[in-house]
A = this chain, B = another copy of it.
């Protein structure tokens, strides 16, 4: 039994301590928790044997980055571990079976907000490095860590920091553990991500709420206006009606589409069990993996307006607000997509109301050529630990830092993730599969050994 196998119980206790900190970046009242989580991660890095670790504060008040390094392997490659210590808000609270910030083990899973996304996977990276360090007193390659606390809210701080091209971030490859395996027991590397641009749409009608009896038929209704705008932006088939939006969409190569078609997939299981839905929707004729990995989408995440209490209130509300995002793929450019979105909202805005679009975050899509030694090493490490060939997939999600590392540091990323499809990311009852947690630690350690 090696160090990591011997210390599974300690690792689990450490993970629980990390998970108990409600480091919700979207809610400003959790700023103290953000700082506690950052401190915790820093101390863990020092405990794992990094020669130095520190918080990088943001002059603009953003959440601190956590940086650590061990550079004791001259001549060897340098890998940059990336992860995030912030988490999504836990609501709706009443759907959690155990409290969202009290790690609770049921079966082989640990349930907690952030268990998989991304504290569990950050902890895998740290404990892999610690295991090698405790076993050999040194690491086979040079290692840097850059952890952020704003991934769930757009990652402004890390993006600004990386764009400044700090010399300490020089590396040969970034290792991102923030994705999932295609299926249980199926080692997976993700080579493509969709971009994400997130907006808040506020629509104002009259300057005060109006009686729907007295004014209904003459007064503008901002909720109806948001409905009309949404329906103008996306048709009932899920096809976007934003002019120009598909111009730079690059279809996946035939070889990639063929590989996706070979992935084991049970649509009924995916729909009913994993998603808990009646049926799948989306662009007719486009295969599922292409729809979720390689096609742009528009989703409305939340909407608020008027009277939503118990009973009936006959009011035409003065104002309504919706949260809307677009996912980008292929060669779509963030700035161009924002202009296209804003122009489409403007064109769709009905008379009598004003629509204001506020940009909350923006990240470009990314796609990596899998033919490089870091991805090969990761695939080999996964294969050795899981005993199966590693598959290459994309993800429909967005990790903006991957594009930023590539563009500003020239560092390609290896997206080696240990989540599972039913881990309920961003939803109630988020979990992490404990065997994946322990094997993930062994896999990352093996990856570093292969590289060294």
Check A428 for interface membership: any CB of B closer than 8 A. Answer: yes
How many angstroms between the C-alpha atoms of A420 and B232 in the bound complex? 38
Q: Which of B214, B322, B429 contacts A396 (CB 8 A)?
A: B214
Given contacts A227-B231, A302-B313, A395-B213, contact A281 B196 (CB under 8 A): no
A300 touches B223 (CB 8 A): yes
Q: Report the minimum CB–CB distance from A354 to chain B (whole Å).
A: 7
Check A266 for interface membership: any CB of B closer than 8 A. Answer: no
Residue numbers in B under 8 Å from A218 (CB-CB)? 275, 280-282, 288, 291-292
How many copies of this chain does one complex carry? 2
Residue numbers in B under 8 Å from A36 (CB-CB)? none
Residue numbers in B under 8 Å from A236 (CB-CB)? 228, 350
A316 touches B299 (CB 8 A): yes
Q: Mark A146-180, 1 if CB is under 8 A from B, else 0.
A: 00000011100000000000000000000000001
Given contact pairs A302-B306, A312-B361, enumerate 19 new A-B contacts (beta carbons under 8 Å).
Answer: A26-B310, A28-B310, A89-B307, A92-B209, A198-B312, A210-B426, A212-B301, A212-B327, A215-B396, A218-B291, A223-B230, A223-B301, A223-B302, A223-B303, A223-B322, A277-B352, A301-B317, A302-B307, A303-B304
Given contacts A307-B301, A352-B280, A424-B208, contact A314 B223 (CB under 8 A): no
Q: CB within 8 Å of B: which of A197-216? A: 198, 205-216
B216 touches A327 (CB 8 A): yes
Q: CB within 8 Å of B: which of A378-398? A: 395-398
Interface size on A, residues (CB 8 A): 101
Residues of A at the B interface (CB closer than 8 Å) are 25-28, 88-89, 91-92, 95, 152-154, 180, 194, 196, 198, 205-221, 223-224, 226-228, 230-231, 234, 236, 238, 275-283, 288, 291-292, 295, 297, 299-318, 320-323, 325, 327, 350-354, 360-361, 395-398, 421, 424-429
Residue numbers in B under 8 Å from A277 (CB-CB)? 205-207, 219-220, 352
Q: Which of B234, B292, B312 contacts A215 (CB 8 A)?
A: B292
A150 to B, closest residue via Cβ: B311
Residue numbers in B under 8 Å from A205 (CB-CB)? 277
Given contacts A220-B277, A299-B216, A301-B307, contact A196 B323 (CB under 8 A): no
Interface hub of A220, A297, A314, A360 (most chain B Cβ within 10 A) = A314
